[in-house]
Amino acid sequence: MINKPKIIVQNVLLIILIVFLVPIGLIFMWKWKLWNTYFKIGITTLIIIFIRQILVINIIFYGLFIYPEASSIVSHYCFGNGSDLILKNNYLKRSRVIIHHLKEMKVGEKRKIGMHQLEDCRLSFALNPLTIIKNKNSTVIEQYIKFDTSGKTITWIGPIPMPDNIVHVFNCTPYLAKTEFSYNQNTYLDIDPPNLLESNFIKNHKLCKSCSQNNFRNIK
């Protein structure tokens, strides 16, 4: 849930910055030509006030090119109306984690799974945990999106630990994210290969209870 008093304070500070500091700054620039100094002070002030918003917007923007599913999920959580989000299945139907479970599952089975981030970065950034429903001619992947609010859940973006609750600087709304795709035996052969970091993790990590192969349960 958004901290409304905090947002109000931020908006008031922004108004003060625009209404009072800008005219004062213009006077300084006109009289003493302190263009560079005033610009640096203004930019620094804005960054300090809106650092969390800036970080979330950057996650959404740059994620669009690297992890588009995760970008869509964060964007819809921060700015959506709570309606279901239908994810594109281009990558999800080729995820090695998802295909591994589909091979094991029976028709009609419903399974909730979790994973290490480096087992499948693109999938884990978007959906972790997630639910797989194996129907006769199709598979449904879904997750109810509601980010942690305690600050204890961390997502690693490269070497940078990012608390999940940072997104709540905006007025976030929980929702259901899902996708569906048909499958056949060829689906099991079209697996997206791991990247360098994932390959290294898979090669050196011993199978544990948090790995996707073990970290699942069948649900009704």
Residue 24 belongs to some domain of the structure = no
Please write the tens of the pLDDT for every residue from 143-191.
999 999 998 888 887 778 888 999 999 999 999 999 999 876 666 667 8
Residue 8 belongs to some domain of the structure = no
Residue 98 belongs to some domain of the structure = yes
Quote the DSSP letter at residue 21: I
Q: How many residues does the chain have?
A: 220
Residue 186 belongs to some domain of the structure = yes
Rg of the chain over Cα atoms, rounded to whole angstroms, equals 22
pTM of the full structure? 0.77
Cα distances (angstroms) measured from residue 135 to each of 106, 140, 144, 183: 9, 8, 20, 10
Per-residue pLDDT, 69:
96
Please write the tens of the pLDDT for every residue from 45-102.
766 778 888 888 888 988 889 999 999 999 999 999 999 999 999 999 999 999 999 9
3-state secondary structure of 185: coil
Tell me which residue of 137, 138, 140, 141 sits closest to 129, measured CA to CA: 141
Residue 178 belongs to some domain of the structure = yes
Cα end-to-end span (Å), the chain? 30
What band does 37 get if pLDDT is binned at 50, 70 and 90? low
Residue 78 belongs to some domain of the structure = yes
Per-residue pLDDT, 2:
41
Residue 68 belongs to some domain of the structure = yes
Q: How many domains does the chain have?
A: 1
Mean pLDDT computed over every residue of the chain: 82
Per-residue pLDDT, 162:
86
Q: Of 8-22, 59-73, 195-209, which gets the smallest average pLDDT?
A: 8-22
Residue 163 belongs to some domain of the structure = yes
What band does 203 get if pLDDT is binned at 50, 70 and 90? confident
Q: Which domain holds residue 95?
A: 50-218
